[in-house]
């Protein structure tokens, strides 16, 4: 087997082993959130233990595709023959070449994430993490300067959301008439809008046991992290009725996501995924919280700071995550 073929085979094996490590940890009762918190507690770095594992098959496939391109680049440019001989100068050359080719920021961030994972798998975690941080700042600077394009995050207007939910309600009713089976895509959309939950947290992870007293619902986020939030009385009752009549999860996630995109388009909006609901919900929560704090006597700067922190925490992120505040709240904050 040639040096290039051997490197690709070695990469494939190491990525598989990284995912198998997660399977073993999960079998022992670990959640992704616990893995993060262990890194924070012991090293002040939430990614410390996460770098050596892979949580999802889709991530493994994506990383392998990017890293095979990286291997081909280093084999051709530097005549590298072994995976363990890769170092940061090779990664810098690969990223600089990608920047020169004018790739979008989302693609560049994916490249640096994959490279960080690769360096963790060859025992060079610290240098890979440092390189990732450095190029993260560089890429964000290029976006600010207009040199490369940043991610396009479409957020529907409140009116488009209202119309789309009504369209989903009608489609769900017709589905029941046609098949005899109840469907709750419109309830999943309402739940996302009221809570800023991820689509998976408002569909397949919602069962009857999630409904709590006083109109509260327990949402299960990334890594199994649980959060109880209050929702409107009528939504709480509607979800309870549906789940009592139709045992199982509230909705099928992929079907809901597809239906939502179609509903937004039918409502006259630009096609956007369900994450647009999450952003709109976060922004409306921020505005309400900001005005509530102003009315309670807080200074505008303090009201904005605390409302922003509350909104980001409600999304399932740390209160001080300025990057998430910028991503979800945008100019609203």
Residues in the chain, total: 333
- Summarised one tens digit per residue, pLDDT across range 70-115 is 999 999 999 999 999 999 999 999 999 999 999 988 899 999 999 9
pTM of the model: 0.67
- Summarised one tens digit per residue, pLDDT across range 183-200 is 999 999 999 999 999 999
- The answer on 268 and 248 residing in a single domain is yes
Is 153 a member of any domain?
no
Calculate Rg over the CA atoms of the chain: 23
- The answer on 282 and 324 residing in a single domain is yes
- The answer on 138 and 14 residing in a single domain is yes
Per the listing, tokens 């040199």 go with 147
Is 178 a member of any domain?
yes
Cα dihedral 322, 326, 332, 333, rounded to 10, equals 20
- The answer on 296 and 209 residing in a single domain is no
Angle between helices 88-100 and 125-144 (to 10 degrees): 20
- Summarised one tens digit per residue, pLDDT across range 156-175 is 899 999 999 999 999 999 99
- The answer on 193 and 69 residing in a single domain is no
Structural domain ending residue among the three candidates 244, 273, 302: 273
- The answer on 173 and 132 residing in a single domain is no
Mean pLDDT of the chain: 92
Distance CA 6, CA 221 (A): 39
Alpha carbon separation from 64 to 26, 31, 54, 80, 91 (Å, rounded): 22, 24, 12, 18, 15
Based on the structure, what is the number of domains in the chain?
A: 3
Per the listing, tokens 């505040």 go with 325
Question: According to the model, what pLDDT value does residue 278 have?
Answer: 92
Q: Report which of 96, 55, 91 is spatially closest to residue 74, judged by C-alpha positions.
A: 91
Per-residue pLDDT for 56 more than 90? no
Is 149 a member of any domain?
no
- Summarised one tens digit per residue, pLDDT across range 258-286 is 999 999 999 999 877 898 999 999 999 99
* DSSP notation for 271-324: P--THHHHHHHHHHHHHHHHHHHHHTT--HHHHHHHHHHHHHHHTTS-TT-HHH
Structural domain ending residue among the three candidates 118, 144, 170: 144
Domain that holds residue 247: 158-273
């Amino acid at each position: 087997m040639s040096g290039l073929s051997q490197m690709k085979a070695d990469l494939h094996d190491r990525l598989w082993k990284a995912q198998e490590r997660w399977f073993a940890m999960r079998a022992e009762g670990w959640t992704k959130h616990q893995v993060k918190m262990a890194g924070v507690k012991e090293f002040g770095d939430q990614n410390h233990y996460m770098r050596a594992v892979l949580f999802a098959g889709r991530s493994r496939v994506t990383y392998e595709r990017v890293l095979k391109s990286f291997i081909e680049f280093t084999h051709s440019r530097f005549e590298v023959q072994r995976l363990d001989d890769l170092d940061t100068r090779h990664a810098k050359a690969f990223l600089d070449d990608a920047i020169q080719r004018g790739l979008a920021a989302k693609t560049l961030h994916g490249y640096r994430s994959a490279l960080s994972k690769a360096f963790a798998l060859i025992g060079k975690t610290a240098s890979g993490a440092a390189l990732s941080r450095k190029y993260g700042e560089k890429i964000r600077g290029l976006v600010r300067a207009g040199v490369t394009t940043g991610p396009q995050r479409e957020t529907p207007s409140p009116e488009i959301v209202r119309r789309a939910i009504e369209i989903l309600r009608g489609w769900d009713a017709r589905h029941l008439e046609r098949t005899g089976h109840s469907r709750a895509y419109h309830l999943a959309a309402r739940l996302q809008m009221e809570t800023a939950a991820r689509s998976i947290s408002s569909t397949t992870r919602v069962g009857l046991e999630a409904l709590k007293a006083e109109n509260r619902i327990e949402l299960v986020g990334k890594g199994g992290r649980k959060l109880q939030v209050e929702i409107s009385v009528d939504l709480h009752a509607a979800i309870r009725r549906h789940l009592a009549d139709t045992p199982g999860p509230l909705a099928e996630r992929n079907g809901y996501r597809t239906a939502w995109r179609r509903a937004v388009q039918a409502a006259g909006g630009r096609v956007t995924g369900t994450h647009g609901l999450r952003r709109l919900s976060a922004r409306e929560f921020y505005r309400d919280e900001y005005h509530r704090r102003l009315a309670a006597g807080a200074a505008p700067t303090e009201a904005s700071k605390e409302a922003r922190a509350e909104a980001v925490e409600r999304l399932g992120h740390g209160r001080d995550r300025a990057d998430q505040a910028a991503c979800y709240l945008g100019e609203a904050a």
